[in-house]
């Protein structure tokens, strides 16, 4: 049993090396990582362990997409690693290591688990690029009322209120002024009437000349 | 008879003039002229023109307004009945200005309201419907241009094609007019209080921006670029012409607003000192605003330059698969050389994608007008930390500047019309309804027609007639006596020489130059936004556009001769009623 597994591993690694020395197959996807751009000082060094993680995450992606099919690290063949940290990879099929999984299937798997792959490397869609697989951009958050309308409503309401106040206030003031001289006149009349009542009963026309004068001077 | 209202204090009058004169032109036209005409060296022709024509003409208009205590039509009719047309021309020009100027305030409101979001809408391109990437038009242009041309204006490809009204714009325009009405509803009483704020707050914002601006990365590049004078520009006649024109328009002469404001003054108000103060403040603000603008320019240019370098660096890294940290922004150019020599074939493939990053050329992109305020500035703002705050501050300042100028513009119309008992509300409503046409998809092109032609030519003409009238027809001696009556002393020889000789000569020269340039310029053109290319292209105005331009130019100017003719005929008719013996003098049939 152990011997068989060992044999298969040797075969697959030999097969992988074979694959890498040939021309880039059409099912391959280029991957490019920009670790230093994304993380700056906290950037980790890219080494074989990181590559192993990549293979593992991709195997995980394939497994999530095609449930039941148990992809392994050995199924993810990586070639042409450059100092840029870019390489291309293919996925060998489970039944036959010489056959490669189609581009469409790989794309679906990557798209489905893109988030998980990104977070495994602390990168984003822009810093971990799969050339040919455009990232699905997040749907824009569209609030029910656009925020500008709210601010507009507030300002418009304030201005409207201001105009009303400025138009109505002088009218109210005018009314008050009209009532005031009337009140003064009434109180004058009252006192005069009171004094008149003490004397003989008033008859004839009330002498308005005094209060009339007051009215005129107030105007 | 209703007593004419007055400013509550001379400070209100000064602030009203400052609020009116200090407007958007100080922020977006002067820095452009500075850049075009040799940086710091431009200050020389600018200050000379301020002394030769700016202050004297400002003084003249204030004197007329304060003496006659009437709006422009009444004032000029009182000076000489034949020249009431000058006042009418001022009112017509102010009307044109009112029609289109509030659109700028509507845009400021639009931007201001859109600043209250977590991500400024002009910071990033919106995503297309497939969610595969940004909208193409936005990709080809920049997000700020896209937001201005597509989301704010929804601009059509040319002036001939029209569409519907942009509802958001229309609402903002309605708000702008309501606020204008609010400011003038009680006449001088409300205007006088408002100007305390509209005249002073922009300086607070400018000061805050100055501090923010000079602490930005790369600001010094911009300021250095602006202030290092390129003296050879002084030999260019256009520099002097532009300096004269800028002083002239910046002070707002000829619209009748200054006459209107001064008409609410007390008879003995010392307007001589105020004229000098306001003119100095106006020019000082222009210079102050350009320092801020250039600091921001420098920042924006540096950011763009750094981004350009970053893009080139990425391109090199990705094509040649070199380790990330080997190429930095500083050694990009050395790497380009190296790679060109070592891998010429591969390099040739990416040659056309390689951008030439140059800080000088970024600084050189001089922009003026609405483009500067709404595109360049908003681009700079989105790169600042806490962009929402800076955006709100900036557009609020633009609003105050614009509203302050609108106050003057509207006062110039309602003051003379007040004598004809036309209501303030009617004027505002009329202007707003006509202004709605500027919110249509081709509205911005019509706006540009108004902006370029409605006020320029007619103002030169109006002010020329004004100064010649006062100096020669009314008589400089009579004018001197009037000023002595008001101020207690005669204007000294400097003013008299400017009014009688220098300013008229300068104005005639500017007037003739304008006509010559207009004729020599051939068919007038405009910048149309091309959505496929993602940039503006130059197009010629169609026939109806050119006719409209001609109408605009002629309509306000013709008020002067037409009114003179009308008054002449009226006088002749009245003369005929008195002496019926000469029937052949009947002019009524004309």
Which of B5, B102, B106, B113 to mutate against chain A (most A CBs within 10 Å)? Answer: B113
- Tens of pLDDT, residue by residue over B495-517, are 999 999 999 999 999 889 888 98
pLDDT reported for residue A184: 54
Residue B118 DSSP one-character state = S
Residue B441 DSSP one-character state = T
Residue A41 DSSP one-character state = G
Q: Does the pLDDT of residue B454 top 80, yes or no?
A: yes
A134 touches chain B (CB under 8 A): yes
Is B178 within 8 Å of A137 when comparing Cβ atoms? no
Chain B, nearest residue to A127 by Cα: B314
> Average pLDDT of B161-187?
90
ipTM beyond cut 0.90: no
- Tens of pLDDT, residue by residue over B335-345, are 888 888 888 88
pLDDT reported for residue A192: 46
- Which of A35, A136, A151 minimises the CB distance to B113? A151
Question: Is the CATH code 3.30.70 the one for domain A13-131?
Answer: yes
> According to the annotation, is B26 in a ligand binding site?
yes
Q: Which helix (H) or strand (E) holds B530?
A: strand B525-530
- Sorted by where each begins, the domain ranges of chain A are 13-131, 142-177
Asked if residue B202 lies in contact with residue B396, where contact means CB atoms within 8 angstroms, the answer is no
Tokens representing residue B590 in the block: 């004309």
> According to the annotation, is B401 in a ligand binding site?
yes
Tokens representing residue B222 in the block: 């911009």
Tokens representing residue B312 in the block: 């080139």
Strand order of the β-sheet with A76-79 is: A76-79, A86-91, A29-33, A128-131
pLDDT reported for residue A216: 44
> Average pLDDT of B443-463?
89
Of A93-107, A182-196, B201-215, B567-581, the poorest mean pLDDT is in: A182-196
d(CA B241, CA B534): 34
Question: Is the CATH code 1.20.1740.10 the one for domain B10-316+352-578?
Answer: yes
pLDDT reported for residue B419: 67
Tokens representing residue B417 in the block: 């019309």
Q: Does the pLDDT of residue B483 top 90, yes or no?
A: yes
Q: What are phi and psi of A167, to 5 degrees?
A: -85, -35
**One pLDDT digit (tens) per residue for chain A, 219 residues:** 677 766 655 665 666 667 777 788 888 888 988 888 888 888 888 888 999 999 999 999 989 888 888 888 888 888 888 888 888 888 888 888 888 888 888 888 888 888 899 998 888 888 888 888 877 777 777 777 888 899 999 999 999 999 888 888 888 888 888 887 655 555 444 444 444 444 454 455 555 555 444 444 444
B182 touches chain A (CB under 8 A): yes
pLDDT reported for residue B436: 93
Residue A193: CB atoms within 10 Å: 11
Q: Does the pLDDT of residue B111 top 50, yes or no?
A: yes
**Cα distances (angstroms) measured from residue A89 to each of A49, A76, A80, A83, B518:** 16, 7, 9, 16, 66
User: In which band, very low, low, confident or very high, does the pLDDT at B296 lie, cut at 50, 70 and 90?
Assistant: confident
> According to the annotation, is B153 in a ligand binding site?
no
- Which of A136, A140, A148 minimises the CB distance to B114? A148
- Which of A37, A149, A151 minimises the CB distance to B324? A37
**DSSP E strands, A1-144:** 29-33, 76-79, 86-91, 128-131
Q: Which helix (H) or strand (E) holds B506?
A: helix B503-520
Q: Does the pLDDT of residue B581 top 70, yes or no?
A: no
d(CA B256, CA B162): 34
Residue A24 DSSP one-character state = P
> Average pLDDT of B258-274?
92
Q: Which SS3 state, helix, strand or coil, does residue B80 take?
A: coil
pLDDT reported for residue A193: 46
Total residue length of chain A: 219
Tokens representing residue B402 in the block: 């614009």
pLDDT reported for residue B585: 53
Closest CA to B402 of B99, B28, B91, B20: B20
User: In which band, very low, low, confident or very high, does the pLDDT at B405 lie, cut at 50, 70 and 90?
Assistant: very high
- A-chain residues within 8 Å CB-CB of B172? 152
Q: What are phi and psi of A132, to 5 degrees?
A: 110, -20
Is B116 within 8 Å of A151 when comparing Cβ atoms? yes
A159 touches chain B (CB under 8 A): yes
Instruction: Give me the total of CB pairs closer than 8 Å, taking one residue from chain A and one from chain B.
Output: 75
Of A2-6, A84-88, B207-211, B378-382, the poorest mean pLDDT is in: A2-6
- B-chain residues within 8 Å CB-CB of A163? 178, 181-182, 185
Of B36-45, B267-276, B384-393, the poorest mean pLDDT is in: B36-45
d(CA B230, CA B386): 36
Q: Does the pLDDT of residue B55 top 90, yes or no?
A: yes
Percentages (nearest 5) of helix, strand, coil residues in chain B: 75, 5, 25
pLDDT reported for residue B66: 93
d(CA B150, CA B168): 12
Of B345-354, B362-371, B471-480, the poorest mean pLDDT is in: B362-371
- Sorted by where each begins, the domain ranges of chain B are 10-316+352-578
pLDDT reported for residue A132: 84
> Average pLDDT of B219-227?
85
d(CA A145, CA A141): 11
> Average pLDDT of B159-180?
91
- Tens of pLDDT, residue by residue over B16-42, are 999 999 998 888 888 888 888 888 889
Sign of CA dihedral B127, B133, B134, B136: negative
d(CA A212, CA A214): 5
- B-chain residues within 8 Å CB-CB of A40? none
pLDDT reported for residue A9: 59
pLDDT reported for residue B535: 82
Residue B286 C-alpha from the chain's centroid: 12
Asked if residue B382 lies in contact with residue B122, where contact means CB atoms within 8 angstroms, the answer is yes
Vertex A62: Cα angle to A56 and A67 (nearest 5): 125
Which of A38, A146, A148 to mutate against chain B (most B CBs within 10 Å)? Answer: A148
**Cα distances (angstroms) measured from residue B311 to each of B298, B314, B327, B463:** 20, 5, 12, 53
- Tell me the pLDDT of chain B averaged across its residues: 88
Is A152 within 8 Å of B172 when comparing Cβ atoms? yes
d(CA A35, CA B113): 38
What percent of chain B has pLDDT above 70?
A: 96
Tokens representing residue B238 in the block: 């256009």
């Amino acid at each position: 049993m152990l011997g068989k597994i060992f044999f298969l591993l040797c075969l697959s690694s030999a097969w992988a090396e074979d694959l890498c020395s040939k021309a880039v197959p059409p099912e391959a996807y280029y991957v490019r990582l920009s670790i230093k751009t994304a993380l700056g000082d906290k950037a980790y060094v890219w080494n074989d362990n990181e590559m192993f993680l990549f293979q593992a995450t991709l195997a995980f992606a394939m497994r999530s997409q095609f449930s039941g099919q148990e992809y392994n690290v050995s199924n993810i063949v990586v070639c042409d690693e450059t100092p840029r940290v870019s390489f291309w990879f293919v996925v060998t099929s489970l039944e036959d290591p010489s056959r490669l999984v189609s581009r469409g299937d790989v794309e679906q798997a990557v798209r489905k688990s893109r988030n998980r792959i990104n977070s495994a490397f602390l990168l984003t869609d822009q810093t971990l690029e799969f050339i040919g697989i455009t990232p699905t951009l997040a749907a824009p958050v569209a609030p029910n009322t656009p925020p500008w309308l709210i601010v507009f409503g507030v300002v418009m309401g304030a201005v409207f209120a201001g105009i009303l106040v400025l138009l109505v206030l002088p009218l109210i003031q005018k009314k008050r002024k009209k009532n005031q001289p009337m009140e003064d006149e009434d109180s004058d009349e009252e006192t005069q009437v009171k004094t008149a009542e003490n004397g003989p009963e008033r008859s004839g026309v009330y002498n308005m000349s005094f209060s009339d004068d007051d009215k005129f001077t107030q105007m | 008879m209703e007593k004419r209202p007055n400013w509550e204090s001379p400070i209100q009058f000064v602030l009203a003039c400052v609020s009116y004169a200090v407007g958007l032109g100080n922020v977006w036209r002067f820095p452009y002229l500075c850049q075009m005409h040799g940086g710091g060296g431009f200050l020389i022709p600018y200050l000379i023109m301020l002394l030769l024509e700016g202050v004297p003409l400002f003084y003249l208009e204030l004197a007329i307004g304060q003496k006659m205590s009437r709006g422009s039509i009444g004032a000029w009719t009182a000076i000489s009945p034949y020249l009431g047309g000058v006042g009418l021309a001022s009112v017509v020009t102010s009307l044109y200005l009112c029609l289109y100027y509030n659109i700028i305030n509507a845009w400021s409101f639009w931007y201001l309201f859109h600043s209250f979001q977590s991500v400024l809408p002009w910071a990033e391109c919106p995503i297309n419907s497939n969610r595969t990437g940004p909208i193409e038009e936005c990709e080809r242009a920049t997000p700020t241009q896209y937001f201005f041309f597509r989301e704010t204006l929804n601009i059509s490809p040319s002036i001939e094609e029209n569409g519907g009204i942009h509802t958001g714009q229309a609402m903002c325009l309605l708000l702008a007019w309501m606020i204008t009405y609010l400011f003038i509803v009680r006449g001088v009483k409300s205007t006088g209080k408002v100007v305390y704020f509209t005249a002073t707050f922009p300086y607070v914002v400018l000061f805050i921006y100055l501090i923010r601006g000079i602490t930005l990365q790369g600001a010094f590049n911009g300021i250095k670029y602006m202030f290092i004078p390129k003296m050879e520009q002084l030999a260019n006649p256009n520099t002097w012409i532009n300096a004269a024109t800028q002083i002239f328009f910046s002070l707002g002469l000829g619209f009748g607003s200054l006459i209107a404001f001064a008409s609410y003054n007390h008879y003995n108000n010392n307007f001589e000192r105020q004229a000098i103060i306001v003119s100095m403040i106006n020019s000082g603000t222009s210079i102050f605003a350009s320092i801020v603008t250039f600091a921001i320019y420098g920042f924006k240019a540096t950011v763009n330059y750094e981004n350009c370098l970053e893009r080139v660096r990425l391109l090199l890294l990705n094509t040649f698969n070199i380790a990330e940290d080997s190429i930095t922004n500083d050694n990009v150019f050395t790497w380009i050389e190296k790679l060109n020599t070592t891998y010429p074939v591969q390099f040739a493939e990416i040659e056309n994608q390689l951008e030439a990053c140059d800080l000088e050329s970024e600084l050189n992109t001089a922009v003026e007008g609405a483009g500067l305020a709404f595109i360049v500035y908003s681009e700079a703002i989105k790169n600042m930390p806490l962009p929402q705050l800076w955006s709100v501050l900036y557009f609020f300042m633009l609003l105050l500047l614009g509203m302050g100028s609108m106050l003057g513009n509207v006062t110039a119309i309602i003051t003379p019309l007040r004598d004809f008992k036309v209501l303030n509300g009617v004027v505002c409503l009329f202007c707003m309804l006509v202004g709605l046409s500027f919110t249509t998809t081709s509205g911005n092109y019509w706006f540009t027609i108004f902006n370029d032609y409605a006020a320029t030519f007619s103002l030169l003409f109006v002010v020329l007639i004004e100064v010649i009238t006062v100096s020669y027809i009314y008589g400089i001696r009579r004018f001197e006596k009037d000023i002595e009556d008001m101020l207690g002393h005669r204007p000294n020889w400097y003013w008299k020489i400017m009014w009688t000789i220098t300013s008229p000569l300068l104005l005639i020269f500017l007037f003739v130059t304008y006509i010559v340039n207009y004729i020599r310029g051939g068919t007038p053109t405009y910048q149309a936004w091309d959505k496929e290319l993602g940039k503006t292209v130059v197009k010629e105005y169609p026939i109806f556009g050119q006719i409209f331009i001609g109408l605009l130019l002629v309509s306000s100017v013709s008020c002067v001769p037409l009114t003179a003719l009308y008054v002449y005929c009226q006088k002749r008719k009245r003369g005929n009623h008195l002496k019926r013996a000469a029937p052949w003098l009947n002019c009524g049939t004309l």
